[in-house]
Copies of this chain bind each other. A is one copy, B any other.
Amino acid sequence: MKHITINGDRLWQSLMTMAKIGATEKGGCCRLTLTDLDKEARDLFVQWCEEAGCTVTVDQVGNIFARRPGRHNDLPPIMTGSHLDTQPTGGKFDGVFGVLAGLEVLRTLQDHNVETKAPVEVSVWTNEEGSRFAPAMMGSGVVAGRFTLEEILAKTDIDGKLFGEELKRIGYAGELPARQRPIGAFFEAHIEQGPYLEAEKKTIGVVNKGQGQRWYDVTITGRESHAGTTPMPLRHDALAAAARLINQVERIANTNQPHACGTVGFLQVHPNSRNTIPGQVTMSVDLRHPDDTILSKMDRELKVFCEHLPAEVNVEVKLEPIWYYAPVIFSEQCINAVREGARTHGYSHMDIFAGAGHDACYIADFAPASMIFIPCENGISHNEIENAEAADIIAGCNVLLSAMLERANA
Residues of chain A touching chain B, judged by Cβ–Cβ distance below 8 Å, are: 87-89, 129-131, 134, 136, 192-195, 211, 213, 215, 223-232, 234, 237, 239-240, 242-244, 246-247, 250, 253-254, 257-279, 284, 286, 288, 355-357, 379-384
Q: Are B286 and A263 interface neighbours, CB within 8 A?
A: no
Q: Take A244-B247, A273-B87, A275-B263 as given contacts and tell me if A194 and B382 are in contact as well, using a CB distance cutoff of 8 Å.
A: no
Q: Among the listed B229, B231, B261, which residue makes an inter-chain contact with A231, where contact means beta carbons less than 8 Å apart?
A: B261
Q: Specify the main secondary structure of chain A where it touches its partner.
A: loop
Closest chain B CB from A253 CB (angstroms)? 5
In the assembled complex, which residues on chain B have CB atoms less than 8 Å from the CB atom of A272? 88, 265-268
Q: Given the complex of chains A and B, what is the CA–CA distance between A203 and B101 in angstroms?
A: 76
Q: Given the complex of chains A and B, what is the CA–CA distance between A15 and B239 in angstroms?
A: 32
Q: Given the complex of chains A and B, what is the CA–CA distance between A226 and B131 in angstroms?
A: 12
Q: Take A250-B240, A265-B276, A277-B265 as given contacts and tell me if A271 and B89 are in contact as well, using a CB distance cutoff of 8 Å.
A: yes
Q: Given the complex of chains A and B, what is the CA–CA distance between A383 and B225 in angstroms?
A: 6
Q: Among the listed B130, B136, B229, B264, which residue makes an inter-chain contact with A194, where contact means beta carbons less than 8 Å apart?
A: B229
Q: Could you name 24 residue pairs across A and B whose Cβ atoms are closer than 8 Å?
A: A88-B276, A89-B276, A134-B274, A193-B226, A193-B228, A194-B226, A227-B286, A227-B288, A229-B381, A232-B254, A232-B262, A234-B379, A237-B250, A243-B247, A263-B274, A265-B272, A265-B273, A266-B273, A267-B269, A268-B272, A275-B357, A276-B382, A277-B382, A279-B383
